[in-house]
Each structure stands twice: as C-alpha cells, then as structure tokens.
Amino acid sequence: MAKIAGAEVLPMLLAPKNRSETLRRERVRQLFQARLPEEPTETGVLLFYWWLKKYHPELLPREKHDDPYQHLRVDLAGLYR
C-alpha cells in the first residue's frame, strides 16, 4: 500500500513543472508559427531565437550548462526544414 501511495504522490509533485514546461513549449511554437509565414528553415529558427531572446527571454530555458538555442531547436522540431 505504501508503494502505491508513493507512486501516486510523485506525479503530483512533478506535475506543476511539467505543466509549465508544456505551456512554455506550446507558446514558443505558436509564436514561431505566427512570426514566420513562409516555409520555416534552420535560418528562420536562428532569427526567431534572437527575436525571442530580445522580446521574450522568459520563454528560453535558463539552465546553466545547456544551450538555449539547442533547446529551442528541440522545442520547434517538426515545424521547420
């Protein structure tokens, strides 16, 4: 019984962070699609990164050792060629 209770609590503790990360990613994808009406490419991702960094830096991941541009590329996977 204790294992079941612990298993139920763990997802609840992680849910707020996962939810906020999901919402952040959705917003980034929406902005990317709205800003690039033509066929998006790798160059468009780079330009969007600089725009995002200037106007919405809160939408970029803030982890010390990670590259925010690489995270953005992962966030936008499937939306550009």
Q: Phi first, then psi: give them for residue 62, nearest 5 degrees.
A: -115, 25
In this predicted structure, the answer to whether residue 4 has a pLDDT above a threshold of 60 is no
Nearest to 76 by CA among 37, 12, 18, 32: 32
The pLDDT confidence band at residue 17, using thresholds 50, 70 and 90, is low
Which burial class, exposed, middle or buried, applies to 75 when counting CB atoms under 10 A from its CB (0-12, 13-18, 19+)? buried
What is the C-alpha to C-alpha distance for residues 45 and 48, in angstroms, rounded to an integer?
5
Q: pLDDT by residue (tens digit) across 32-78?
A: 999 876 788 899 999 999 999 999 999 997 776 789 999 999 999 99
Q: What confidence score (pLDDT) does residue 16 get?
A: 53
| pTM for this predicted structure | 0.72
Whole-number Å distance between alpha carbons of 68 and 79: 17
